[in-house]
């Protein structure tokens, strides 16, 4: 299956999950979808190029200052081509990482800071994701840094939340 077909399938699945959660009539729970660009850092930088991610995002507002955050996401990074030993032809290397994270967001007007932790497949490690962002209405723009095991990448995420909070 091509990378494009995988991305479309994952986007459909995550959007479906988001719509199911948003169908609940709880004003404190809001779900959305987001896309991101991943920028490898450190050891990962020498083996992988820029990546992209697709997410289902869930916010649970405790009060006007504190929000619980949960993300289910898929990240894909293209790696350096390697030579297949059997055919002698270049072969694409790709790392796919499913992300299952949760944490807290401190709302400071339209700006926020957050910290999430969770498990990252593909690197088979627990990790953390500190972030800062800007939330205006239903739009969310975030800069973050993922540290999972020996892998690290920065990210720029654009999100859209389907409900009002």
Question: What is the model's pTM?
Answer: 0.79
Q: Is the pLDDT of residue 165 over 60?
A: no
Q: Is the pLDDT of residue 95 over 70?
A: yes
- Distance (Å, rounded) from C-alpha 129 to C-alpha 121? 15
Can you give the residue ranges of every domain in the chain? 3-161
Q: Is the pLDDT of residue 140 over 70?
A: yes
Q: What is the pLDDT of residues 31-69, one digit of tens each?
A: 899 999 999 998 888 888 899 999 999 999 999 899 999
Q: Give the percent of the chain with pLDDT over 90.
A: 60
Instruction: For the chain, give the number of residues.
Output: 165
What does the pLDDT read at residue 21? Answer: 55
- The CATH architecture assigned to 3-161 reads Beta Barrel (2.40)
DSSP label of 93: -
- Distance (Å, rounded) from C-alpha 8 to C-alpha 133? 26
Within 8 A by CB and 6+ apart from 51, the residues are 37, 38, 40, 75, 76, 77, 78, 95, 153
What does the pLDDT read at residue 117? Answer: 96
Task: Pick the range with the lowest mean pLDDT from 20-24, 52-56, 72-76, 147-151.
Answer: 20-24
Residue with tokens 């719509």: 19
Q: Is the pLDDT of residue 16 over 70?
A: no
CB atoms within 10 A of CB 135: 20
Q: Is the pLDDT of residue 155 over 80?
A: yes
- Distance (Å, rounded) from C-alpha 100 to C-alpha 147? 13
Within 8 A by CB and 6+ apart from 65, the residues are 106, 107
Both tokens of 87, joined, read 């055919």
CA distances from 48 to 7, 12, 86, 141 (A): 18, 26, 23, 24
């Amino acid at each position: 299956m091509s990378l494009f077909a995988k991305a479309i399938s994952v986007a459909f699945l995550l959007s479906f999950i988001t719509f199911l959660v948003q169908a609940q009539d709880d004003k404190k729970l809001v779900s959305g979808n987001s896309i991101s660009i991943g920028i490898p850092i450190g050891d990962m930088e020498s083996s992988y190029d820029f990546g992209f991610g697709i997410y289902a995002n869930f916010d649970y507002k405790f009060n006007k200052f504190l929000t619980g955050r949960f993300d289910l996401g898929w990240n894909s990074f293209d790696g350096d081509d390697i030579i297949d030993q059997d055919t002698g032809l270049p072969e694409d290397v790709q790392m796919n990482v499913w992300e299952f994270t949760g944490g807290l967001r401190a709302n400071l007007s339209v700006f926020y800071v957050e910290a999430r932790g969770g498990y990252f497949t593909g690197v088979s490690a627990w990790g953390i994701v500190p972030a800062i962002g800007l939330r205006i209405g239903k739009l969310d723009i975030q800069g973050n840094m993922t540290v999972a095991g020996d892998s690290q990448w920065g990210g720029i995420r654009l999100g859209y939340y389907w409900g009002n909070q």
